[in-house]
Chain A
Amino acid sequence: MTETVWTSSGTTAHEPKFGDYVELLKPRVMRLVIFTALVGLLAAPVGTHPVIALASILCVAVGAGASGALNMWSDWDIDAVMDRTSRRPIPSGRVERGEALAIGVTLAVFSVVMLALFSNMVAAGLLAFTIFFYAVIYSLWLKRATPQNIVIGGAAGAFPPMIGWAIATGGVSVESVLMFALIFLWTPPHFWALALFRNSDYIRAGVPMLPVTAGTRVTRNQILIYTLLLVPVAVAPAFSGIGGPVYLAGALVLNAMFLAGGLRVWRRNDGDAAADGYRVEKRFFGFSILYLFLHFVLILAEALCRLADLSPAGWPRPF
C-alpha cells in the first residue's frame, strides 16, 4: 500500500502509522455520529438484540469514517491553507491522497454491505445515501459552489439518528424525520457562527461561505432566521413517540438559551466582535454543540422513562 523513500538524513518520507489512518476517519465527527445513531436506535419502539445493535452501529461509524476520508481526499487543497485543518493527515504529508480515496471507497462499500447483512436494506440504503451525499454532493460539489453549502450539506450529518431508527424498525417514521430535522436546521447557525470567527481562513481557501460571499451582516441575519426555524422543530419531538414531559422541559430551557444566544449574535456588528475577539460568536458556537448533544440526551432519557414505565399515559402525541 505504501512506498518507503529513504532520504539522505536517514529518515523516511511517507510511512504512516495506524493512528494516521484513524485520524483520516475524523474520529471526533464519528463520536457524534455514533451517539446520535445510538439514540435513534434506542428511542425506537422496537427492541434490537444488543449484538446486532453493536454491529450495526459500528457499520454506521465506519460509514461515517469513510465519508471523512473521502472528504479529506476531495478537500486536500482547502485543508492545506486553513489553520484549523492544515495538520490533517494529507496536508501534513503523513498520508497520500490516493490512499485516502482507497480507504474511503473500501470502507464505504464494506460498511453498507455489512449493515445490509447485519440489519436491513432500509438502514443500509440510508447509510449509502448519506455517504454519497456527504462525499459527492457536499464535498465535491456544493462546498466550492454555493454559500448555501452547509445548509444543504447539513442533511448528511442529520441522517445518523434516522439510520439508527431504521436499524431497529426497518423503516422511516415521523419521529425519525423530526430527529433529522433537528440536526438539519441546527447545522446552519452552528457552522455560520464558526464561519464568522474563522472568516479569514475561508477567504484564504476560496470557500464560498456565507460571510465571504454575502458579508457578516447577512450571516448574522441568517443565523437568527435559522434559529427561529429551529426552535419549534426542536420542541416538536416532545409531542411525538420519542418525547414526553422530560424532553419538553429540557428542550424549552435549551431553546430559550439558544434563541437568546442567536439574538446576541444578531445584535452585534464586526466592530463589537473584533473588540472582544468574537467572544459572543465563539460562545454561541460552543453552546450549539452542547445544545444538540443535550437534545439527544433528553430523547435517551425519555426512552429510559418508557422502559421503566414512568411515561405519563395521557401525554399528548399528535405527531
Chain B
Amino acid sequence: MEFFDTIVAILESTIRVSVPLIFAALAGLFTERAGVFDIGLEGKMLGAAFAAGAVAAVTGSVLMGLLAAILISVLLSLVHGYASITQRGSQIVSGVAINFIVAGSTVILGEAWFRQGGRTPALDADARFQTVTFPFADAVKDVPIFGPIYSNLLSGHFILTYVAFLLVPFSWWVLYRTRFGLRLRAVGENPGAVDTAGISVIWLRYRAVICCGILCGFAGAYLSLAMSAGFVKGMTAGKGYIALAALIFAKWRPVNIMMACLLFGFLDALAIRLQGNPLPFIGQVPVQLMQALPYILTVILLAGFIGKAVPPKAGGVPYVKER
C-alpha cells in the first residue's frame, strides 16, 4: 500500500510539473506548424511569469495577473514575428535575443520596482490561483485504490492544470478540424501554395505567433501565480527548452505533446524523489543523469533511432513573395 501511495505521489507531482511544459509546447506547436521556429519559448514564459507576478502583487487580482502575462507574452511574440516574418531575419537569432532581453530585464525591473532581490512580493491567497476540489473528494479519500486516485491525482489541482489538459484536444481540433488550422499547417509546409490560393502568408503567420504568445502567457502565469506565490528570478530554469524538446519529441503533434510533457515531467518528479533513495537492482542513479535524460532522449529521437522527427517543411525559412 505504501508503494501505491508513493506512485500516486510521484504521478501527482508529474502532473504539477508537466503543466507549464504542456502550455509552452502547445505554444511552440502553433508557431512551428506555421513555419516560424521559436526557441524563445523560455523567454516568453519568463516574461509572462514576471508580468503575472508583478501585476498580481500590485493589483491583488489573479485575473489581472493572467491578462498581464498574456499581454507581455504576446508583445514578445510580436517582436519575434516582426523580426522573422516582416523583416525576414533569422528566426533562431531572434529567439535567442528575446531569451536574453527577458532574462536581463525581469531582474533589472523587478529589482528596481520591488527591491526584493529580483523577486516580486509574495502573493496573498486572493492574488493567486486556488486549487479546485472535486465533489466528494474528501469523502472517498479512504476508499482503497480509487480513493487516492480520485482525491489526490484527479482532484485538487489548479484550474490552469485542467485548462492545460483541455487545451490538448482543443489544439488538435483547431489544427486538424478547422479552416484556420488547415491553412496554418499549409503555411508551414508550402507557403507558396497558400499564397497562390490568395491567402496572406504574413497575416496567417502573425496569427500563429499570437496564439503562441497567448499560450506562453498561460505557462508563465502558471509558474508565478499557481505553482509558487510570486515571481523568482530565472524561475523558468530551462523549462522553455524542455518544452521545445517535448515538441520535437512529439513530432509536432498535440496528443504526443501531452505524452512527451508527462514523460519529461515524470522524469523530473522521479529525479526529485530518487535523491538519496537507491533504485532496486540498479542502485544509486546520479540525479544529474535523470536531469539530463529529457535532453538525451530528444537527441536520440532526433538521430532517428526512435522513429523520425520531421519538422514542418517550410520551418525556419522566411517567406519572400515572388517579385
Is this pair of chains taken from one and the same complex?
no
A interface residues with partner B (beta carbon < 8 Å) = none
B interface residues with partner A (beta carbon < 8 Å) = none
